[in-house]
Amino acid sequence: MLDPNAPIFEVSEEVRNSILEVYLRDAKQSIGEIEFGTIQKNHEDVRKAAHKLKGASATIGATQMTNICRSMENPLMQNLEMLSELKNTFETLKKEIG
């Protein structure tokens, strides 16, 4: 699920683990913001949170998360189905990261 060619794999394991720990914490918060905004139909809040998570996901090489977030920046894609896909992908990613 993580791109093995991502720059994060060029740093030491200790640094990588620290970065991934911060990513998981921040991603959980962003997903909460996306969920709340989706339910409230607050497109701008969803866009902002999705954009933030997209950048963080790209940084660690989480391509699928990046693509879902890119889609969710579009108000037409801010729906419960995409939210479910985002949450499921995040759960899979958490297991991969360990």
d(CA 64, CA 71): 11
pLDDT value for 73: 98
How many C-beta atoms surround the C-beta of residue 77 within 10 A?
15
pLDDT value for 98: 84
pLDDT value for 66: 98
pTM of the model: 0.94
| Dihedral sign of CA atoms 87, 88, 92, 95 in order | positive
pLDDT value for 5: 93
pLDDT value for 32: 98
Tens-digit pLDDT string for the chain (98 aa): 899 999 999 999 999 999 999 999 999 999 999 999 999 999 999 999 999 999 999 999 999 999 999 999 999 999 999 999 999 999 999 999 98
pLDDT value for 1: 82
pLDDT value for 75: 96
Query: What domains can be seen in the chain, in order of their start residue?
Result: 7-97 (1.20.120.160)
Max Cα–Cα distance, the chain, nearest Å: 41
Q: Residue 21: what are its φ and ψ, rounded to 5°? A: -65, -45
Residue 79 DSSP code = S
